[in-house]
């Protein structure tokens, strides 16, 4: 809280109210409007909560104008260059980069919890073979409360931490099993001699008939994507996790709700939409025609994976992943027309005045979709991949909220329906 304030005066009643200004360690000043209704009888109207701070948090800082993203104060560029995903996960959970000893213990704990209850695998077999992986993921994660109900006291910090570790450890196992279910393959057990991302790739693609060697370039690219997707402040899915958490619900229910929110094409489904768009364009020869369509405000076609609601400049995550994207394509030597098409779209977006002036640069969803395709991950799994990385952010935000509980979330509304009217018996209608 600072000494600054904004004074409101109601012209009808003549009443005034001082709104204190809350200043965080960084970022824009924020008005404390908690006394607005009590003192003046008003609520605020903010569709989409674009100018509303729903909580205080120490976890992630974003400056969209400057293109800044930091986890616990550490610039995303430094974490992406120097850290593994699990080291970033530790940092998000506990607030500081781990020592060697702390990280060794954390990695051991995560590895220990990678297997899922065998009956969860049985439960998964009940889904239709062509069910979307996100439907399976949300259903299975929600059901985890039935399998780990003995350790679900959200008022116990140790039990909260255990649930967080279980979710981080088991999400790749569940996601890989959802993919294998769609392929008609048996579930693959986690291989604990491998690292986090290597283990996931092994669970995805290994088969009993022959050995599977994880490509280190593919594993590093996946690890980097998990880092970049780990947290992003109060986005739709994270806000959903916090809103459900404010009711006192168990962490599995909260994260299942977050998965459902992430599934939306405007959120986690954006990278899936990028590949669908590329399929729609179809060929490098068609790029110019579709770029013209994108520039026509009367044409419904939109280029997916360009620009960002938060970042008004270049998405800092896209800067990082662009380099990795080109390295993956070069290493794997993929000959694919859709990948060639994507690279041509990237070239145009970085050079064409229309895109440059509007700052419609390729974002992280654009590059992540290309990398996933190059790694052989099917489009239907793209959002599930996002969920694996974002689970760390969800549980970090849930832990922070649980340690500092607030009132149950209860947004208001502006009612626009009919006024009071009398009931009419059905025979008189």
Residues annotated catalytic, as ranges: 308, 365
210: β partners: 207
Measured torsion, CA atoms of residues 43, 47, 53, 57, in degrees rounded to the nearest 10: 140
Do 141 and 255 form a contact (C-beta atoms < 8 A)? yes
Q: Which two tokens stand for residue 163?
A: 């649930």
Spatial contact of 243 and 409, defined as CB atoms under 8 Å apart: yes
- By the 8 A CB rule, do 400 and 285 touch? no
CA dihedral 18, 23, 28, 31 (to 10 degrees): -20
Q: Which residues have a Cβ under 8 Å from the Cβ of 177 and sit 6 or more positions away? A: 116, 121, 124, 187, 188, 203
Q: The tokens of 16 are what?
A: 């005034």
Q: Where are the alpha helices (DSSP H) in 113-264?
A: 118-124, 133-147, 157-183, 196-205, 216-229, 236-245, 251-262
Strand partners, 16: 9
Contact residues for 312 (Cβ-Cβ < 8 A; gap 6+)? 64, 65, 359
Could you count the other beta carbons within 10 Å of the beta carbon of residue 393? 25
Phi, then psi, of 5 in degrees rounded to 5: -155, 160
Q: How far apart are CA 362 and CA 349, in angstroms?
A: 7
How far is it, in rounded angstroms, from Cα 156 to Cα 208?
42
**DSSP 3-state of 297:** coil
Around 132, how many Cα atoms within 13 Å sit in the side-chain half-sphere? Answer: 15
Burial (Cβ within 10 Å: 0-12, 13-18, ≥19) of residue 388: buried
Question: 20: part of which helix (H) or strand (E)?
Answer: strand 16-22
- At residue 80, what are phi and psi to the nearest 5 degrees? -65, -35
Q: Report how far residue 160's alpha carbon sits from residue 254's, in angstroms, rounded to the nearest whole number.
A: 12
- Grouping H, G, I as helix, E, B as strand and the rest as coil, residue 74 is strand
d(CA 232, CA 213): 33
């Amino acid at each position: 809280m600072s000494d600054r304030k904004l004074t409101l005066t109601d012209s009808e009643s003549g009443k005034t109210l001082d709104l204190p200004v809350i200043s965080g360690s960084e970022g824009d000043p924020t008005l404390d409007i908690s006394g607005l209704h009590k003192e003046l009888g008003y609520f605020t109207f903010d569709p989409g909560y674009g100018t509303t701070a729903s909580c205080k948090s120490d976890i992630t800082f974003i400056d969209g104008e400057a293109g800044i993203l930091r986890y616990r104060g550490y610039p995303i560029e430094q974490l992406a260059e120097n850290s593994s995903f699990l080291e970033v996960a530790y940092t998000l959970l506990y607030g500081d980069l781990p020592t060697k000893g702390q990280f060794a213990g954390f990695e051991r704990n995560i590895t220990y919890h990678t297997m899922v209850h065998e009956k969860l695998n049985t439960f998964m077999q009940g889904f239709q073979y062509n069910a979307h992986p996100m439907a399976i993921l949300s259903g299975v994660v929600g059901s985890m409360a039935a399998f780990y109900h003995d350790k679900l006291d959200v008022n116990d910090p140790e039990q909260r931490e255990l649930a967080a570790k279980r979710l981080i450890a088991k999400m790749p196992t569940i996601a890989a099993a959802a993919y294998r279910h769609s392929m008609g393959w048996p579930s693959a057990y986690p291989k604990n001699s491998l690292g986090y991302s290597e283990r996931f790739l092994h669970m995805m693609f290994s088969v009993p008939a022959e050995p599977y060697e994880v490509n280190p370039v593919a594993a590093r690219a996946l690890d980097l994507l998990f880092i970049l997707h780990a947290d992003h402040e109060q986005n739709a899915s994270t806000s959903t996790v916090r809103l459900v958490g404010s009711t006192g619900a168990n962490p599995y229910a909260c994260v299942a709700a977050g998965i459902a929110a992430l599934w939306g094409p405007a959120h986690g489904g954006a990278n899936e939409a990028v590949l669908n768009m590329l399929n729609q364009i179809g060929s490098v020869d068609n790029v110019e025609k579709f770029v013209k369509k994108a520039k026509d405000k009367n044409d419904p076609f939109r280029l997916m994976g360009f620009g960002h609601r938060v970042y008004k400049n270049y998405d800092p995550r896209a800067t990082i992943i662009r380099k990795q994207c080109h390295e993956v394509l070069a290493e794997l030597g993929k000959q694919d027309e859709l990948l060639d098409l994507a690279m041509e779209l990237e070239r145009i977006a970085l050079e064409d005045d229309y895109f440059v002036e509007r700052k419609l640069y390729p974002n992280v969803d654009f590059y992540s979709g290309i990398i996933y395709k190059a790694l052989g991950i099917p489009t239907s799994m793209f959002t599930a991949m996002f969920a694996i990385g974002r689970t760390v952010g969800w549980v970090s935000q849930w832990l922070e909220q649980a340690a500092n509980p607030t009132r149950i979330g209860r947004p208001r509304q502006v009612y626009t329906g009919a006024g009071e009217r009398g009931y009419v018996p059905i025979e008189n209608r």
